[in-house]
C-alpha cells in the first residue's frame, strides 16, 4: 500500500558492475525463529526506512550499483537485502516500514536548530527512497509516514500497541533513540557493521553496554547530546559521566531536582546548560500515540505482486540470480504458489536421451526430419584453431530431447548432423546463435541454416534496456522457470561437473528455448519488431561470426614500438610531477593526489565527493584553467599516456596465432542498437588524436590481400535529424553541396558563408551534433566554454532558423511520454518509463534519451543494413574481398588484388542505398596499407 503522505523521499536522502558481498543479517547469540517462538499474537517486525536506506547507501559503493539510465541503486539494494535477510532469519508474521516525511516535525517547531546541521542530500541518494517504496508496494509490505512526526514515532506507536496486544516486536533501525522502547516484548536490531551485522538489543544487552535500563536511555541521551540531531551536549561531560549521573540519581527528573548536589566543574557546566539539556530530554522522548491510518491487523504479511515486482526489478536492473532467489524465498505467497510453479518449471516432462556413438543419425531421422522447430543448446569454447562444440542438446516442443558429444560422433552421425544443420527447411531456435556460428568451422562444418529464432536477440528487441540477456534470467522472467546452469565467459552454457546432470540440464535449456520463443514472438509482433529480427539482427549475427573468425592483421613490431614509447612518456610525466611538487608521490593514488593538490599546493577546491575533492579528468582540466601550476596538466598527460599504453598492451595480448586480432562483437549491449566490441574493444582507440592514429597504423592488410578499404557515412546523425524533423532549411543545407556547418552557421548568425569564421563553425557544429544527442543548454555551455545564458541564446537563435528541428525535439519527447517508448526509422523501440517519473533527475535523463535514441538508433540500424547489403553484394558478385571490422559508423574491408575499383563502387552504392533519407546518405571511402592510411 502507499504511504499516508505523498513523497517520503523529501527527508534526508543495481547486478553490481563489480562483485559485492551479499549483505546478511547476523546477530550475536542468534537463535532461529522457531526456537525463539512468536508472541501470543504473532511477531511484528518494524523497519526505519530512511535510517536503513541511508546506512546502506554509505555501506555499498555507489559506483558499483547503477542502471544504464544512470540511476544509482546501492541504497535500494542494501536496504532490500537487509530486510529480506532479516525476514528470513526472524520469520515475522507482521511487517511494516516507517519513513520520515520531511525535517519539519513537532521537534523542529520546539527547537528550530533540530537536525539543522544535516548536510545536503547526496545526489546519488536522491530518488532511491521512492524506488524502495515501489519495491515495498510490489512486495505487499505496508509503509507509513505521518506528517509532523518522524519514523521513530510511528515505530514507537506500533511497537507499544503490539507489545500490549501480546506480539513479539522486532525493531530494525540505525537510530539508537529506539533503545528506549526495549523491554521483554520489544527487541531492537541495530546494524553494527554496514548492513551485514546486527546487534540484538534486549533489556540485558542495553544494560550490558550502557549500564542503564532501556527506560533510562533517553535520560542518558539527553545529557550526552546528539551531534547527528544537532542536540548540544554539556562541555566536559561525555557518555561515562552522563551514565554515572543517571545511575547515581536514578532518572533525569531526579537529577534536575537535585542538580545542586553535583559537584565540581562538571556540575557547574550542567547547571549552566540545564535548560538546553531539558529540551534535549523532551525531544529525545519518542511519541507512542501517533494517530495512524493502519492498525496491527493491517500489517499481516501478504503475497507479493509478482508481475509488479518483476517489473520494478527489471527497471532497477537487479538481475543477480542470488539476490532474486533470496527475495522470492521469503514471499508469503510462495508456498501457496509452489505447486503451480513446479508444474511450470519441473513438470515439463522432458523425455531425454543421452546418445552414444552411432545413435544420432537415427534420432534425427525419427524426431527432427519434419518442419517443427527444434531447440538447440550447446556448450562451446572459442579460440581460433582450437575452438570446439563440446556438448549439444536438441529438443522438440513435445518434450522429446537428446544430448550428445560431437567428439563421440561416428561418420554417419556427423554426416547426418551436418546435413540437418545445413537444411534451411528444418527450423532451429538458438540463444546467442553467433557463438555457435563462429565455432562450427573449427569442426569443418558449414554455417547453420534455418535459424528461425534467437531468444537473446528477440529479448533484446523486446526490451533493449535490460542488463542481462542470459537464458537463465529470461526463463525466470518469461517462464517462471529456474535454470541454474550459469553462463560462461563466452555467453554459452556452463554446466555442472557431473556428466549426467550436465546432459539433463542442457536438454532442459534446449526445451526452454522453444517455450521462450513462443513467449517472445507475440511481443515482437505487437511491437513491429519481427522484421528487425528476421531481416537485420539474425543475418547480422552470421556476418559478425565470419568477421570475428577472419579478424584483421596486426603489425606486432609496431605495437611493441608504441608500447615502449608510451611507457617512456608515462615515466617522463611521473618524473615531471615529482619535480614540480618537490617530492615523490604515487600518481595513481587519489588520496595522495588530493593531499598534494588541495593540501600542499592549496589549489582551488573541486567538487566534493565521499572520498574528498574530486580529481577526475574534468576537475583536472578545470584546475588547469584556474592556476598556473603545472601539475594538473602533467596529471592529464600522465593519465592519457597510461590509458594509451594500456590499450596497446591489450592489443598485443590479443594477437592470435595467425597474426590477426579477432575482436568479439556484442549485439545486445547498447540499448540504442549500436554494436560494441570486446577483447579487444576497438571502439576505445581514439580517432581524432595523433596518438590514436599511430595505434591505427598497427592494423594492416593481411597476406594475400592488396589493401584495406574504409568506408563511413558523412554526418549521418544530422542527416537523420533533417529527415525526421522535415526541416526544409536543414535539408537544403545538406543538398546545397556546400560545407554543412558553414552553411548552417551563416544562416544562424546572419552572415555570408564567406564571413563564417572557425569559431562560428565550431559552435554550430557542436550545437548540431549536441541536439542529436539530447544536449542541454548547460551541456553546450560546458562543451564550448561559454556561459549558460549565452548557450541558451545560441540555441534559441538556432531554433528560430530551424523551427522544424525544435518542433521535432519537442514532439518526440511528448509522444514518448504518452506511448512510453521511442522508435527508430526501422521500428526499433527504446522503452523509457522514467519519462513520467516524479523524480526530476530520472525524468530529465529519460527526456535526453528520448531525444537521442531515435537518432542514434536509426544510425545504428542503417549501418547494420549497409553491412548486410555490402556483404550480400560481394557474395553475389563473386568477389573475394571481405569485411573485417565495424567501428562506430565505419566499416573496414580487406581487398583482394584486382578488385579495388569494383569493391569501391559496390560499397558506395550499397551503403548510400541503405535507407532513403530526405538528406541523402553520403559515403566516404579510403584505401591504404593500414587502417590509418586508409582513412579519408
Q: Per residue in 193-210, pLDDT tens?
A: 655 678 899 999 988 888
User: pLDDT by residue (tens digit) across 346-368?
Assistant: 445 678 889 999 999 999 999 99
Write the DSSP symbol of residue 105.
Answer: B
Residues near 179 by beta carbon (within 8 Å), at least 6 away in sequence: 188, 190, 201, 206, 214, 217
Give me the pLDDT at residue 15, please. 37
Give the integer Cα–Cα distance in Å for 918 and 902: 27
Grid look-up 560546458 returns 782
First-residue to last-residue Cα distance in the chain: 61
**Nearest CA to 195 among 53, 49, 329?**
53
Q: Grid coordinates representing 243?
A: 551514565
Compute, in degrees rounded to 10, the torsion defined by CA atoms 623, 625, 626, 627.
Answer: 90
Q: How far apart are CA 469 and CA 471, in angstroms?
A: 6
Half-sphere exposure of 216 toward its Cβ, with a 13 Å CA cutoff? 21
**378 plus 501 within the same structural domain:** yes
Q: How confident is the model at residue 627 (pLDDT cuts 50, 70, 90)?
A: confident
Burial (0-12, 13-18, 19+ Cβ within 10 Å), 701? buried
The angle subtended at Cα 27 by Cα 24 and Cα 28, nearest 5°, is 145
pLDDT tens-digit map of 141-195: 999 988 888 888 999 999 999 999 999 999 999 888 888 899 999 999 998 765 5
Is 474:455 a contact under the CB 8 Å cutoff? Answer: yes
Same domain, 396 and 514: yes
Q: Which of 859, 308, 831 is nearest to 523 (CA)?
A: 831
374 with 385, same domain: the answer is: yes
**Which grid coordinates belong to 6?**
505523498
The answer to whether residues 661 and 668 touch, using CB atoms and an 8 Å cutoff, is: no
Q: How many CB atoms lie within 10 A of CB 800?
A: 11
Closest CA to 911 of 709, 743, 731, 770: 709
* φ and ψ at residue 829, rounded to 5 degrees: -95, 150
pLDDT at 329: 84
Instruction: Give 122-140 pLDDT, tens digit per residue.
Output: 777 878 888 999 999 999 9
- The helix or strand, by DSSP H or E, that contains position 593, with its residue range, turns out to be helix 590-594
Regarding whether 579 and 537 lie in a shared domain, the answer is no
Q: How confident is the model at residue 654 (pLDDT cuts 50, 70, 90)?
A: very high
Cβ atoms of 127 and 71 closer than 8 Å = yes
Q: Is residue 916 part of a domain?
A: no
- pLDDT value, residue 113: 63
**What does each C-alpha distance from 433 to 125, 302, 494 come to in angstroms?**
40, 42, 16
Whole-number Cα distances in Å, 246 to 223, 404, 620: 9, 77, 54
**More confident of the two residues 241 and 331:** 331
Helices and strands: H and E segment counts in the chain:
37, 25
- On whether residue 333 sits in a domain, the answer given is no
Domain count, the chain: 5
pLDDT one-digit tens code per residue, 237-278: 767 777 777 777 777 666 666 777 777 666 666 676 666 677
Distance of alpha carbon 14 from alpha carbon 314, whole angstroms: 10
Check residue 400 and report its DSSP letter. E
In the predicted model, is pLDDT for residue 390 greater than 60? yes
Look at residue 117 in the predicted model and tell me its pLDDT. Answer: 53
What is the distance between the alpha carbons of residues 463 and 469, in angstroms, rounded to a whole number? 10
Give the model's pLDDT for residue 236: 64
Q: Same domain for 141 and 42?
A: yes
Between 126 and 530, the more confident residue is: 530
Question: Per-residue pLDDT for 9 more than 90?
Answer: no
The percent of residues above 70 in pLDDT, for the chain, comes to 85
Distance CA 856, CA 834 (A): 19
pLDDT at 551 exceeding the cut of 90: yes
Chain center to CA of 606: 27
**614 and 753 together in one domain:** no
Asked if the model's pLDDT at residue 800 lies above 90, the reply is no
CATH number of domain containing 740: 1.10.150.20
| 222 compared with 415, residue with greater pLDDT | 415
Q: Does 332 reside within a domain? A: no
Residues 6+ apart with CB under 8 A from 436: 376, 378, 380, 389, 430, 448, 492
Q: What is the mean pLDDT of the chain?
A: 83
Banded pLDDT at 770 (limits 50, 70, 90): confident
Between the alpha carbon of residue 426 and those of residues 241, 396, 400, 449, 516, the distances in Å are 85, 12, 16, 8, 19
pLDDT at 26: 37
Residue 895: inside a domain? no
If asked whether residues 207 and 248 sit together in one domain, one would say: no
More confident residue, 337 or 738: 738
Measured over the CA atoms of residue 320, residue 323, residue 326 and residue 329, the dihedral's sign is negative
Least confident of 326-335, 542-551, 587-596: 326-335
pLDDT above 90 for 769:
no
Determine the Cα–Cα distance for residues 405 and 354; give it in Å rounded to an integer.
Answer: 9
List the domain range (segments joined by +) for residue 850.
717-858
C-alpha cell at 314: 527489471
61 and 173 both lie in a single domain = yes
Q: How many CB atoms lie within 10 A of CB 226?
A: 19
Q: Which of 512-521, 788-797, 873-882 has the lowest mean pLDDT?
A: 788-797
In a domain, 125, yes or no: yes
Nearest-CA neighbor of 847 among 824, 822, 870, 873? 822
pLDDT tens digits, 29-44: 343 333 345 666 789 9
pLDDT band per the 50, 70, 90 thresholds, residue 791:
confident
> How sure is the predictor about 59, in pLDDT bands with cuts at 50, 70 and 90?
confident
71-100 average pLDDT score:
91
What residue has cell string 561515562? 240
- Which domain CATH number covers 595? 1.20.1060.10
503 and 561 housed in the same domain: no
User: % helix / strand / coil in the chain, to the nearest 5?
Assistant: 50, 15, 35
Using CA of residue 412, residue 413, residue 416, residue 421, what is the dihedral sign?
negative
Instruction: Report whether pLDDT(702) > 90.
Output: yes
Higher pLDDT, 231 or 895: 895
Beta 664-666 vs 388-395: how paired, if at all? unpaired
pLDDT at position 731 over 60: yes
Assigned domain for 690 exists: no
Which pLDDT score, from 0 to 100, does residue 159 have?
93
Quick one: cell of 344?
A: 511450470
Structure confidence by residue, pLDDT tens digits, 875-912 = 999 999 999 999 988 999 999 999 999 999 999 999 99
The alpha carbons of the chain give a radius of gyration, in whole angstroms, of 33
Mean pLDDT of 297-308: 88
Mean pLDDT of the region 803-811: 90
Give the list of residues 6+ apart from residue 28 with CB closer than 8 angstroms, or none. 199, 200
The average pLDDT across 614-619 equals 86
Last residue of a domain, one of 633, 661, 689: 661
3-state secondary structure of 787: coil
Least trusted range by pLDDT, from 709-723, 763-777, 880-894: 763-777
Are residues 280 and 155 part of one domain?
no
Q: Calculate ∠ Cα 928-677-557, nearest 5°.
A: 45
633 occurs within a structural domain: yes
Same domain? For 207 and 222 the reply is no
Residue 715 has pLDDT above 80, yes or no: yes
* Residue 686, in any domain of the structure: no
Distances in Å between the Cα of 260 and the Cα atoms of 208, 243, 270, 281, 545 are 29, 18, 10, 19, 88
Whether residue 475 contacts residue 508, with contact meaning beta carbons closer than 8 Å, is answered with no
Query: 305 and 281, same structural domain?
Result: no
List phi, psi (to 5°) of 492. Answer: -85, 175
CA–CA distance, 57 with 72 (Å, rounded to integer): 10
Q: Of 796, 824, 858, which marks where a domain is finished? A: 858
- What is the arithmetic mean of pLDDT over 734-738? 83
| End residue of a domain, out of 551, 569, 598 | 551
- Among 260-264, 464-468, 761-765, 860-864, the minimum mean pLDDT is found in 260-264
**How buried is 661 (Cβ within 10 angstroms: 0-12 exposed, 13-18 middle, 19+ buried)?**
buried
pLDDT of residue 115: 55
pLDDT of residue 13: 32
Secondary structure element (H or E) that encloses residue 560, with its range: helix 556-581
Amino acid at each position: 500500500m502507499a504511504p499516508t503522505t505523498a513523497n517520503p523521499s523529501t527527508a534526508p536522502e543495481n547486478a553490481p558492475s563489480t562483485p559485492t558481498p551479499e549483505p546478511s543479517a547476523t546477530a550475536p547469540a542468534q537463535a532461529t525463529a522457531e526456537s525463539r517462538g512468536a508472541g501470543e499474537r504473532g511477531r511484528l517486525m518494524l523497519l526505519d526506512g530512511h535510517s536503513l536506506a541511508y546506512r546502506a547507501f554509505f555501506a555499498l559503493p555507489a559506483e558499483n550499483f547503477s542502471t544504464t539510465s544512470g540511476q544509482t541503486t546501492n541504497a535500494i539494494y542494501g536496504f532490500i537485502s537487509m530486510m529480506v535477510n532479516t525476514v528470513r532469519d526472524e520469520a515475522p508474521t507482521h511487517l511494516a516500514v516507517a519513513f520520515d516525511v520531511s525535517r519539519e516535525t513537532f521537534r523542529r517547531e520546539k527547537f528550530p536548530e533540530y537536525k539543522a546541521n544535516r548536510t545536503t542530500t547526496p545526489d546519488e541518494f536522491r530518488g532511491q527512497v521512492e524506488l524502495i517504496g515501489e519495491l515495498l508496494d510490489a512486495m505487499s509490505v505496508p509503509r507509513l509516514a505521518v506528517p509532523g512526526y518522524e519514523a521513530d514515532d510511528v515505530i514507537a506507536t506500533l511497537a507499544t500497541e503490539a507489545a500490549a496486544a501480546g506480539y513479539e516486536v522486532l525493531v530494525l533501525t540505525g537510530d539508537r533513540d529506539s533503545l528506549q522502547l526495549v523491554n521483554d516484548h520489544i527487541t531492537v536490531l541495530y546494524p553494527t557493521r554496514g548492513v551485514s551485522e546486527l546487534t540484538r538489543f534486549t533489556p540485558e544487552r542495553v544494560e550490558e553496554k550502557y549500564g542503564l535500563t532501556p527506560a533510562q536511555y533517553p535520560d542518558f541521551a539527553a545529557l550526552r547530546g546528539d551531534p547527528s540531531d544537532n542536540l548540544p551536549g554539556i562541555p566536559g561531560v561525555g557518555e561515562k559521566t552522563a551514565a554515572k549521573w543517571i545511575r547515581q540519581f536514578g532518572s533525569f527528573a531526579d537529577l534536575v531536582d537535585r542538580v545542586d548536589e553535583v559537584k565540581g566543574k562538571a556540575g557547574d557546566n550542567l547547571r549552566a546548560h540545564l535548560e538546553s539539556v531539558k529540551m534535549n530530554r523532551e525531544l529525545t522522548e519518542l511519541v507512542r500515540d501517533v494517530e495512524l491510518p493502519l492498525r496491527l491487523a493491517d500489517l499481516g504479511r501478504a503475497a507479493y505482486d509478482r508481475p509488479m515486482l518483476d517489473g520494478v526489478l527489471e527497471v532497477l536492473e537487479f538481475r543477480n540470480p542470488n539476490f532474486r532467489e533470496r527475495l522470492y524465498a521469503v514471499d508469503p505467497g510462495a508456498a501457496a504458489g509452489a505447486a503451480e510453479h513446479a508444474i511450470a518449471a519441473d513438470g515439463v516432462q522432458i523425455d531425454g536421451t543421452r546418445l552414444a556413438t552411432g545413435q544420432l543419425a537415427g534420432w534425427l531421422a525419427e524426431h527432427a526430419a519434419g518442419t517443427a522447430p527444434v531447440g538447440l543448446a550447446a556448450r562451446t569454447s572459442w579460440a581460433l584453431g582450437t575452438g570446439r562444440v563440446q556438448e549439444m542438446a536438441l529438443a522438440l516442443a513435445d518434450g522429446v530431447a537428446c544430448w550428445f558429444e560431437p567428439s563421440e560422433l561416428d561418420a554417419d552421425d556427423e554426416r547426418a548432423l551436418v546435413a540437418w544443420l545445413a537444411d534451411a527447411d528444418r527450423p532451429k531456435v538458438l540463444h546467442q546463435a553467433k557463438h555457435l556460428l563462429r565455432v562450427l568451422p573449427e569442426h569443418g562444418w558449414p554455417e547453420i541454416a534455418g535459424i528461425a529464432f534467437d531468444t537473446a536477440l528477440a529479448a533484446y528487441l523486446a526490451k533493449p534496456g535490460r542488463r542481462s540477456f542470459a537464458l537463465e534470467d529470461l526463463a525466470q522472467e518469461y517462464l517462471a522457470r529456474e535454470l541454474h546452469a550459469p553462463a560462461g565467459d563466452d555467453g554459452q552454457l556452463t554446466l555442472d561437473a557431473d556428466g549426467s546432470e550436465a546432459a539433463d540440464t542442457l536438454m532442459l535449456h534446449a526445451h526452454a528455448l522453444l517455450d521462450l520463443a513462443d513467449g517472445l514472438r507475440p511481443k515482437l509482433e505487437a511491437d513491429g519488431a519481427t522484421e528487425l529480427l528476421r531481416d537485420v539482427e539474425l543475418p547480422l549475427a552470421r556476418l559478425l561470426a565470419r568477421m570475428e573468425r577472419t579478424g584483421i592483421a596486426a603489425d606486432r613490431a609496431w605495437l611493441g614500438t608504441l608500447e615502449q614509447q608510451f611507457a617512456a612518456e608515462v615515466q617522463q610525466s611521473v618524473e615531471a610531477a615529482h619535480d614540480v611538487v618537490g617530492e615523490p608521490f604515487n600518481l595513481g593514488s587519489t588520496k595522495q593526489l588530493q593531499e598534494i593538490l588541495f593540501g600542499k599546493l592549496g589549489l582551488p577546491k573541486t567538487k566534493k565527493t565521499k572520498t574528498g575533492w574530486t580529481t577526475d579528468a574534468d576537475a583536472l582540466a578545470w584546475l588547469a584553467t584556474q592556476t598556473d601550476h603545472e601539475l594538473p596538466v602533467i596529471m592529464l598527460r600522465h593519465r592519457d599516456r597510461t590509458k594509451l599504453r594500456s590499450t596497446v598492451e591489450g592489443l598485443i595480448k590479443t594477437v592470435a596465432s595467425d597474426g590477426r586480432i579477432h575482436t568479439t562483437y556484442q549485439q545486445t549491449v547498447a540499448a540504442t542498437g549500436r554494436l560494441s566490441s570486446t577483447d579487444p574493444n576497438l571502439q576505445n582507440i581514439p580517432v581524432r588524436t595523433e596518438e590514436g592514429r599511430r595505434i591505427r597504423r598497427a592494423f594492416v592488410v593481411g597476406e594475400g590481400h592488396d589493401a584495406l578499404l574504409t568506408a563511413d557515412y558523412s554526418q549521418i546523425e544530422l542527416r537523420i535529424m533533417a529527415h525526421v524533423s522535415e526541416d526544409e532549411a536543414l535539408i537544403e543545407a545538406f543538398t546545397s553541396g556546400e560545407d554543412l556547418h558553414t552553411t548552417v552557421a551563416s544562416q544562424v548568425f546572419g552572415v555570408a558563408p564567406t564571413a563564417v569564421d572557425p569559431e562560428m563553425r565550431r559552435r554550430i557544429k557542436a550545437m548540431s551534433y549536441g541536439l542529436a544527442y539530447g544536449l542541454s543548454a548547460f551541456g553546450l555551455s560546458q562543451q564550448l566554454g561559454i556561459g549558460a545564458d549565452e548557450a541558451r541564446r545560441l540555441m534559441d537563435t538556432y531554433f528560430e532558423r530551424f523551427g522544424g528541428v525544435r518542433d521535432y525535439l519537442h514532439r518526440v519527447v511528448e509522444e514518448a511520454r504518452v506511448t512510453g517508448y521511442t522508435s527508430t526509422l526501422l521500428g526499433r523501440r527504446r522503452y523509457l518509463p522514467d519519462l513520467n517519473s516524479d523524480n526530476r533527475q530520472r525524468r530529465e535523463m529519460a527526456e535526453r534519451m528520448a531525444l537521442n535514441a531515435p537518432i542514434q538508433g536509426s544510425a545504428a540500424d542503417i549501418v547494420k543494413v549497409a553491412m548486410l547489403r555490402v556483404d550480400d553484394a560481394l557474395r553475389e558478385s563473386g568477389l573475394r574481398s571481405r569485411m573485417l571490422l565495424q567501428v562506430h559508423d565505419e566499416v573496414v574491408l580487406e581487398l583482394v588484388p584486382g578488385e579495388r575499383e569494383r569493391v569501391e563502387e559496390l560499397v558506395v552504392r550499397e551503403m548510400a542505398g541503405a535507407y532513403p533519407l530526405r538528406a541523402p546518405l553520403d559515403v566516404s571511402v579510403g584505401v591504404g596499407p593500414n587502417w590509418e592510411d586508409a582513412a579519408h
